[in-house]
Amino acid sequence: MPFQTGAAMLDACVLAVLDERDMYGYELTVYIKSVIDISENSLYPVLRRLQRDDCLTAYDQPYNGRNRRYYSITAAGREKLAGYRNDWEVYKKNMDKLMKGGRSFE
């Protein structure tokens, strides 16, 4: 049974990928789907929410006579990502303790 991916985790995943380089929506979906189970329908609300929160900007680029919408992380998005990365390290360490039978927590 796969673990559920909540909104904060999806936000963190999108920001982490876009911290490497700008991507268009479908490309981003394919990339994230290679790691976690997510549908394209789930990703676009995440992108809109991150744009609304000023964590992402979007721009269009022509491609084969059509436009592709690319997403780019902002300074606010990088700040939010830094917080997610810190939270992830604590979460991961504590989950490892739980899953491996540890009893002490930070």
Per residue in 71-105, pLDDT tens?
A: 999 999 999 999 999 999 999 998 888 888 766 55
Q: Which H or E element spans position 67?
A: strand 66-73
User: Could you give the CA distance from residue 87 to residue 11 in angstroms, rounded to a whole number?
Assistant: 13
Task: Judge contact between 67 and 34, C-beta under 8 A.
Answer: no
Domain boundaries, the chain: 7-99
* pLDDT value for 103: 61
**CATH number 1.20.1560.10 is the correct assignment for the domain at 7-99:** no
Mean pLDDT of the chain, nearest integer: 90
Share of the chain above pLDDT 70, in %: 92
At 104, give phi and psi (nearest 5°).
-105, 145
Helix, coil or strand: residue 60:
strand
